[in-house]
């Protein structure tokens, strides 16, 4: 397929490109698997994509990452955490799709890519949980130390 055929298929689904993300008529991100699958397989075969096809591939990747970010586990995270999740998903996705995806094993490019993104983002949240746990333990140890040694503990988080 060529770029115009890809775009015709995507538009026939009712998806429009908005801010580099394909969205349906309700504004929800949508990644059309038949086009995504074909582009992934062409990348794996080292076929040369045109600049517009390569951009389309990028838009589909960004759309897929946005779909995963809309999951309840990520949707309400702080913007900094969401950005770290997005970055990790891009790295994992662009590395994993071309190297490890095998359509002969029965999986679609979309489902494989979704799982890579989801797993990458979960790892970010796990790392954040570990950091928060360490911070809380250090704060608790500090407070225990200050109370044990007779120093006055001032908690600046308490509002008057």
Within a domain: 160 = no
Give residue 149's pLDDT: 63
Q: How many domains does the chain have?
A: 1
Within a domain: 106 = yes
Mean pLDDT by 10 residues, the chain (160 residues): 92 94 95 94 89 95 96 92 95 86 84 94 90 78 70 59
Within a domain: 137 = yes
Specify the pTM: 0.80
Q: Containing domain of residue 69, as a range?
A: 3-148
Within a domain: 84 = yes
Q: Tokens in use for 52?
A: 């517009």
The whole-angstrom separation of Cα 140 and Cα 146 is 10
Say if residue 35 is exposed, middle or buried (CB neighbours under 10 Å; 0-12, 13-18, 19+): buried
Give residue 120's pLDDT: 94
Within a domain: 154 = no
């Amino acid at each position: 397929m060529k770029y115009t055929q890809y775009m015709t298929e995507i538009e026939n689904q009712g998806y429009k490109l908005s801010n580099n993300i394909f969205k349906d008529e309700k504004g929800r991100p949508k990644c059309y698997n038949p086009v995504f699958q074909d582009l992934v397989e062409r990348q794996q075969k080292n076929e040369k994509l045109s600049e517009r096809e390569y951009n389309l591939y990028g838009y589909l990747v960004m759309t897929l990452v946005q779909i995963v970010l809309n999951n309840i586990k990520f949707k309400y995270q702080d913007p900094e955490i969401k950005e770290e999740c997005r970055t990790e998903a891009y790295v994992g996705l662009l590395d994993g799709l071309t190297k490890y995806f095998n359509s002969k094993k029965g999986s679609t490019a979309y489902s494989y890519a979704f799982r890579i993104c989801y797993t990458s983002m979960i790892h970010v949240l796990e790392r954040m949980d570990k950091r928060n746990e360490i911070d809380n333990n250090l704060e608790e140890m500090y407070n225990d130390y200050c109370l044990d040694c007779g120093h006055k503990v001032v908690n600046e988080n308490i509002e008057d």
